[in-house]
Amino acid sequence: MPGSAVVIVQARTGSSRLPGKVLLPFGESTLLGHILDRLRRTGLDLWVATTESPADDAVADESVAHGAPVFRGDEDDVLGRFAACVDALATEPELVVRVCADRPFCCPVLLGELLELHAATGAPDYVSNTVVRSYPDGLDLELVRTECLRVAAREADDPYEREHVTPFLYRRPERFRLVHATNPFGNFAGVRAVVDTEHDYERLVEVERRLPADADYRDVLNLATLTPELFP
């Protein structure tokens, strides 16, 4: 395990396809609250990074209600917001874990496995299960060394790299050491478990109802294998 890590959840109300999705009911909470409650099981420091827009006051309130401190930053520069959130921490972590608040089945067990992979591979600059995909879309996790996140925030000038936080790193394998996690249970790249539209939301609410209360990513894989029609 790394010496220290912080989980930063990217959340805002704005969404062109499903406005306010992170505050929709999900399980016994909201989508954002559900994700925060799951991630708290990791025992890692947990923050929410949202925008300074008044539209995201409700996101900040929901985060605090679920015990997560909030950093509010630039509305358009998500990379800058993430780096500024790290700068605001009392103690600098070795690693930043990026999670998006439209992935209801983000998994603390899977995060633990990726942290172990990070340690076993000599603490690379970037570890993820997203760039080379074999896990479902929606179980995405990215681990970035803090110093590399700061390099990206200083140097990235491509709007796509500012909006999506990590492309500056994984687009430059000659400069940064990258490790891509492979799903040991097979290729589930065709499975979607992310809330992007109303249809996604309705289907994944039903998926949540079918899963055990303590479900981890292996339960999601099992359900996708047995009843793929449940997934959007």
**Which residue ranges in the chain fall short of pLDDT 70?**
1-3
* pTM given for the model: 0.95
User: Which tens digit of pLDDT belongs to each residue from 65-79?
Assistant: 999 999 999 999 999
Residue 3: per-residue pLDDT: 58
Rounded CA-CA distance 126/180 in Å is: 8
CB atoms closer than 10 angstroms to residue 174: 5
226 torsion bin: left (phi>0), alpha (psi -120 to 50), beta (else): alpha
Residue 1: per-residue pLDDT: 43
Residue 71: per-residue pLDDT: 98
The DSSP code for 181 is: -
The CATH number given to whatever domain includes residue 159 is 3.90.550.10
Q: Which structural domain, as residue segments, surrounds residue 54? A: 5-230
For the chain, how far is it from start to end, CA to CA, in angstroms? 35
Residue 14: per-residue pLDDT: 79
How many domains are there within the chain?
Answer: 1
